[in-house]
Amino acid sequence: MNRLAICLSIAGLALAACGSDPDPDTAGAATKTAKSAPADPLARMAQAVGNGKPGAAVLIRYDFSAKPAVGTPMELQLVFIPQAGVDSLDIMVSSMDGVTLSGPQTASFPDVVPSKQYTHKVSVLPDRAGVFYLSVVATTQIGNSNLSRTFAIPFSVGTVPAQQKAPPQTDAAGEAVQPAKAQETTKSG
C-alpha cells in the first residue's frame, strides 16, 4: 500500500471518529484521566520577552514565588527550553538599580536536549517601589557558533503612580514647540 493510501485511510478513520457519539464507558474514563493528570507547571509561568533580534534558540519561562514587595526577598524560578540544534546553554542574570540579586547569577547546561526543561533559581530583593526588570542573557552553542540573546523579565513593586503627562515643550523664546510630521524624501543621483 502506498503512502497516499495510508494517509487517506488514517484521515478517513479520524473523520469518522469525530462524527460519532462517544461511548459512555470511554467518555467517563477520559474525564477521570483528564482530572487526575497533573497540570502543566509551565502554564502558570510567564514568558520572558526577547529583544526581538534573532539569536540564542531558547525559550525562557519564569515565575516569582510571591508578589514582589519592598524589602522582602522572593525566589525567581527560571525555566530554559532549548530548541532543536542547541548543543549547550549558558545563562547570566543581572538586575537594574533598585534590585539586589543573591544566589548563583550564572549557570551552564552542557549537552542539552531540545525541548527539555532546565531550571535555575535566584533570589530577588527589591529595594524600593517601582517598575523594574531583570536581564537574562542566554548564550547557546550550535555547532561551532555561539549565539546570544537578551531577555527581559519585567515586574512591579508596590503601588506605581500613573505616568503624568509631560509639560509642553517650549523654545528659547518661551513659545510652544509644535511637533512636525515626518516626511520621506528621496534623493536621485
The pLDDT of residue 58 is above 50: yes
* Domains held by the chain: number: 1
* pTM of full prediction above 0.85: no
Percent of the chain with pLDDT over 70: 57
What does the alpha-carbon distance between residue 12 and residue 17 come to, in Å, rounded to a whole number?
Answer: 9
* Band of pLDDT at residue 47, cut at 50, 70 and 90: low
| Span 96-108, pLDDT tens digits | 999 999 999 999 9
- Residue 153: exposed, middle, or buried by beta-carbon count in 10 A (0-12, 13-18, 19+)? buried
Strand, helix or coil for residue 113: coil
Residue 14 backbone class (left: φ over 0; alpha: ψ -120 to 50; beta: rest): alpha
- Residue range(s) defining the domain that contains residue 52: 41-154
Q: Is residue 160 part of a domain?
A: no
Q: Is residue 76 part of a domain?
A: yes
| CATH for 147 | 2.60.40.1230
Comparison of pLDDT for 111 and 15, the residue scoring more: 111
* Band of pLDDT at residue 159, cut at 50, 70 and 90: confident
Which residues, at least 6 apart from 55, have a Cβ–Cβ distance to it below 8 Å?
A: 138, 147, 148, 149, 150
Q: Is residue 85 part of a domain?
A: yes
